[in-house]
Amino acid sequence: MPTWHMLSFQDSASPSMEQLTMFHDFTMAILTLITVMVGLNLIFISFYKLTDRFLLQEQTIEIIWTACPVFILLLIALPSLQTLYLLDDPFSPNITVKAVGHQWYWSYEYSDFPGIEFDAYMSPTSDLTSQTRLLETDNSLALPIHSQIRLITTGADVIHSWAVPAFGLKADAVPGRLNQLMFSIKRPGIFYGQCSEICGSNHSFMPIKIEALPMKNFLDWALSFK
């Protein structure tokens, strides 16, 4: 059943998503302040008819409504550039995973663990018990928490898009080209995403399921993988 917290973002599970959420909240506060001030000015002028020389002819008001937008844009631009830098900040990854988009499923390869390759198809509704419909997959992408992860994505046929909202991640999977995502996961759990590019008739049926594990559990999974 829908609840009020569903009106906002998902709970962040990575530092990247935390930065995006903070920047969104900061920008929304500025937009709310602008909207309130403009609304109050319109009410003030409409009801009190104070269209005097200060509002129509004074040079001071010209300076004010020219300088204020410049200041507001700088106020938004500086944290925006900082957020973009942090999202694309290169680092030495602990693990590299390659995600290849197909019509209409994802396949994964672990570069650091030769032989670990698998496809992830959406689970049919008839096979579900209590899982999430249209988001469950037959194989999960297992990743360690508190580790630097690099995900390389490409497309095998048409353009897809690998996106996981809880991590604040989205990258196009373009045939013949490699795109890169750098991130880390803060907490264990199961996280879902979907292809965010209209890639064909079954576009909405190629979900992403990530199982975030403590490093020990992840290594046990990797060593036991057949």
Reading the chain (226 residues) residue by residue, the pLDDT tens digits are 556 666 778 888 998 899 999 999 999 999 999 999 888 877 877 776 655 555 656 677 778 888 988 999 999 999 898 888 878 776 788 899 999 999 999 999 998 898 899 999 998 887 777 778 888 998 999 999 999 999 999 999 999 999 999 999 999 999 999 999 999 999 999 999 999 999 888 898 999 999 999 999 999 999 887 6
pLDDT for the residue 7: 74
Give yes or no: residues 71 and 143 share one domain.
Answer: no
Measured from the Cβ of residue 47, the count of other Cβ atoms closer than 10 Å reads 8
Question: Does the residue 120 lie in any domain?
Answer: yes
The CA distance from 187 to 190, in Å, is 10
The verdict on 119 and 181 lying in the same domain is yes
Domain final residue, candidates 64, 87, 110 = 87
Phi and psi at 175, nearest 5°, equal: -60, 135
CA distance 13 to 140: 17
Residues 73 and 149 in one domain: no
**Final residue belonging to a domain, choices 26, 59, 87:** 87
3 within domain boundaries: no
Whether residue 104 sits in one domain with residue 74: no
Same domain (yes/no): 26, 67:
yes
7 occurs within a structural domain: no
Q: What is the pLDDT of residue 160?
A: 96
Strand runs labelled E in 103-195: 105-110, 117-120, 141-144, 149-155, 160-164, 169-173, 179-183, 189-195
Q: Are residues 65 and 131 in the same domain?
A: no
State whether 104 and 214 are in the same domain.
Answer: yes
pLDDT at 58: 67
Please tell me whether residues 81 and 131 are part of one structural domain: no
pTM, two decimal places: 0.82
User: Strand 105-110 vs strand 160-164: parallel, antiparallel, or unpaired?
Assistant: unpaired
The confidence score (pLDDT) of residue 125 equals 81
In a domain, 100, yes or no: yes
Domain coverage including residue 101? 95-224
In a domain, 108, yes or no: yes
**What's the CA gap between 171 and 160, in Å, rounded?**
9
Query: Among 31, 54, 87, which residue terminates a domain?
Result: 87
With a CB cutoff of 8 Å and minimum separation 6, the contacts of 151 are 96, 97, 98, 99, 162, 169, 171, 180, 181, 182, 183
Q: Are residues 117 and 191 in the same domain?
A: yes
Report the CATH number at residue 67: 1.10.287.90
The per-residue pLDDT for 49 is: 60
Q: Looking at the structure, do residues 79 and 189 belong to the same domain, yes or no?
A: no
Contact 143, 218 (CB under 8 A): yes
Whether 75 maps to a domain, the answer reads yes
What's the CATH code of the domain at 202?
2.60.40.420
Residue 5 lies in a domain: no
Backbone dihedral angles phi then psi of residue 171, each to the nearest 5 degrees:
-145, 135
Residues 6+ apart with CB under 8 A from 185: 13, 14, 143, 144, 145, 146, 147, 149, 167, 212
pLDDT score for 77: 92
How buried is 14 (Cβ within 10 angstroms: 0-12 exposed, 13-18 middle, 19+ buried)? buried
Do 113 and 170 reside in the same domain of the chain? Answer: yes
What lies within 8 Å, CB to CB, of 199 at 6+ separation is: 101, 103, 104, 158, 159, 160, 161, 206
| Number of independent structural domains in the chain | 2
3-state secondary structure (DSSP) of residue 44: helix
Same domain for 76 and 100, yes or no, is no
**CB-hemisphere CA count at 13 Å for 148?**
9
Q: Within a domain: residue 175?
A: yes
